[in-house]
Amino acid sequence: MQYIQGEKPPGCIFCDDGDRASDRERLLLLRADHAIVMLNRYPYAAGHLMVAPSVHQGELSELAVDIRSELMQLIADSSRILKTVYRYEGLNIGANLGASAGAGFAEHLHFHLVPRWLGDVNFMTSIAETRVIPEHLDRIYDELQPRFEELSRR
């Protein structure tokens, strides 16, 4: 409700402002050469990540090959980290390309990684349109950030 009723901040959540001090506030876990990994502030499940190119582009086909390659590598690395930390039973990976497809930030392509467990979707999400996350975002960030920091050193 905070997001729905609140004033939306200007700009794009995926575009880099260069201020590394705000990474935690932005829930940014990793800055790679051409892409970023961040937690979703309004997740469907604990560990819900987003992987986005650093360049402000909404079309996958318009990205350079090296950027697309890094996106796929980060998606693979992120899924491995999520599997290690959350021991998910399944993983949804997807991108909503364009506003008509449900993209909240249609101008900036991004992929969602949503860990899944048997029985995790119940009436709360499907009928009540409410998301229930059993873990606080700060704790999730603290749990995942060292693993992404280690990844950035490779």
What DSSP assignment string belongs to 122-149?
A: -HHHHTS-----SS-HHHHHHHHHHHHH
- 110 a catalytic residue: yes
What SS3 state is found at 22?
helix
In which region does residue 87 sit, left (phi positive, over 0), alpha (psi from -120 to 50) or beta (all else)?
left
Helix, strand, or coil here: 75? Answer: helix
Q: Which residues contact 147 (CB under 8 A, 6 or more apart)?
A: 81, 84, 85
User: Looking at the DSSP assignment, which residues form a beta bridge with residue 90?
Assistant: 116
Catalytic residue among 56, 108, 110, 112: 110
The tokens describing 30, both together, are 């990793």
Annotated catalytic residues are: 110
